[in-house]
Amino acid sequence: MSIYLGIDIGASTVKLGLFDPEKGVIGERLDRPSRASEGPDATVNVIKTATSELLQANDLQFNDLKAIGACCPAPIDASGMCVYPTNIDRSWQGANVSQKLSEALQLPALLLNDGDAAAYREYRVRSAENKASSCMAQFITGTGLGGALIINGKIWSGPAVSAELGHICIDSSENADLCGCGARGCVETRASLLGLRNMVKHRQAKGNVPEALQGEPMEVAKTLRRLGQMDDPLSDVVAIWQEYFTSLGIAARNVVNILGCDLIVISGGAQEKEKAASDRAYQRFKQDAIASIRQGIDQSFPHLTQTRVEWSIDTLLDSAAYGAAQYASVIGNTKS
Ligand SMILES: [Zn+2]
């Protein structure tokens, strides 16, 4: 057997899955509260217990596991250390999570940033469908904005950390919104749920927001997702989404100018399809989004038509856990 354990560590939930490089995903995913606010050791204990449950549910033994591919929402260095706790408790700063996992489960362990893991999964699904590229950038929206570069089939990483596309600066003005990384004007301050909140706050400060956009900004940010995908959205709602996707387009333009990527992929929960939205309304929302992003890129290269801007094709909700496991299977970080 050569089965890999995939683990997606989040601030509130940890997701575990099993992956076989030959057969693909095995069985069902297992979710548990991560207890991340109690520090990495508490989460590793949760993972240890959950791994036993997952193996048992699939009639497998610990010995069937070859290695661990894990990910978490923070910049990770080459040794598997959490460099800065952007979207997880401060107690994770400086923790070598891959070492902790390896010791607890007695298996080789690889730790990735969660955006990198999700993008790698997307790359592999695209490769199987002949829709991949040797130079791809992916933006993954949620509360914040993750991002990754997959170059020649590998996650791009420098000696310090891998690419942090959410922190590309798109606004250098003095009063630009403050980002979780400590800088101002990052694309994350626009293209994310936090970004939607910021844009609503700015409109509220001017005092001319429609009734539908009044209330607590984070709740309104979620309402915006629903309103943006209605058959007949309000013009203010359309304008906010346009600003959101135009900001992604500016960041994408920077990436294309640095690396020459010919595929930009958009994924993530901040613009996922609302249950109430009709297919037609959601298609319109997607087309408007892609047009706004294209416009950002085209400001620099109006004739560079080979750069594709596409929605994610990976429909797995837990793609990061499986992406990490799949990457561990090709990187060769396995027991002998
Ligand atoms: Zn930032």
- Domain containing 285 equals 132-311
Centroid of ligand 1 to alpha carbon of 105 (angstroms) = 34
Is 290 within a domain? Answer: yes
The answer to whether residues 14 and 28 belong to one domain is yes
Q: Tell me the CA–centroid distance for residue 185 and ligand 1, in Å.
A: 7
Q: Are 157 and 201 in a shared domain? A: yes
Write the DSSP symbol of residue 113.
E
Distance 145 CA to ligand 1 centre (A): 9
Give the sign of the dihedral formed by CA 155, CA 158, CA 162, CA 165.
Answer: negative
> For residue 147, what are the CA distances in angstroms to 51, 138, 168, 217?
28, 5, 10, 24
d(CA 102, CA 48): 11
Dist. CA 76 → ligand 1 center (Å): 16
Q: Based on the fold, state whether residues 209 and 104 are members of the same structural domain.
A: no
Q: Does residue 187 fall inside a structural domain?
A: yes
Dist. CA 167 → ligand 1 center (Å): 4
pLDDT score at 108? 96
Helix H, strand E, coil C: the string for 142-176 is CCCEEEEEEECCEECECCCCECCHHHCECCCCCCC
241 lies in a domain?
yes
In a domain, 29, yes or no: yes
Pairing relationship of beta strands 263-268 and 135-141 according to DSSP bridges? parallel
CA–CA gap between residue 336 and residue 193 (Å, rounded) = 44
Number of other CB atoms surrounding residue 211 within 10 Å: 7
State in Å: Cα 219 to ligand 1 middle: 22
User: Which stretches of the chain score pLDDT less than 50?
Assistant: 336
Answer yes or no: do 291 and 143 share one domain.
yes
Q: 264, 307 in Cβ contact below 8 A?
A: yes
Q: Is residue 192 part of a domain?
A: yes
pLDDT digits (tens, 9 = 90+) for 207-254: 877 788 887 777 888 888 888 998 888 888 999 999 999 999 999 999
Order of all β-strands in the sheet with 24-33: 24-33, 13-20, 3-9, 65-72, 109-113
Q: How far is the CA of 179 from the centre of ligand 1 (A)?
A: 5
Compute the distance from residue 249 Cα to the ligand 1 centre, in Å. 17
Ligand 1: centre distance to CA 91 (Å): 20
**182 CA from centroid of ligand 1 (Å):** 6
Contacts of 308 (CB under 8 A, 6+ apart): 133, 262, 263, 264
Cβ-proximal residues to 255 (8 Å cutoff; 6+ apart), any chain: 137, 149, 165, 168, 261, 264
Distance 132 CA to ligand 1 centre (A): 28
- 17, part of any domain: yes
Residue with tokens 């087309």: 287
CATH code of residue 298 = 3.30.420.40
Cα–ligand 1 centroid distance for 178 (angstroms):
8
Q: How far is residue 98's CA from residue 103's CA, in Å, rounded to a whole number? A: 9
**Do residue 204 and residue 326 come from a single domain?**
no
Quote the ligand 1 centre to 19 CA distance (angstroms): 33
pLDDT at 276: 86
Ligand 1 center to 108 CA (angstroms): 32
102, 108 contact by CB (below 8 A)? yes
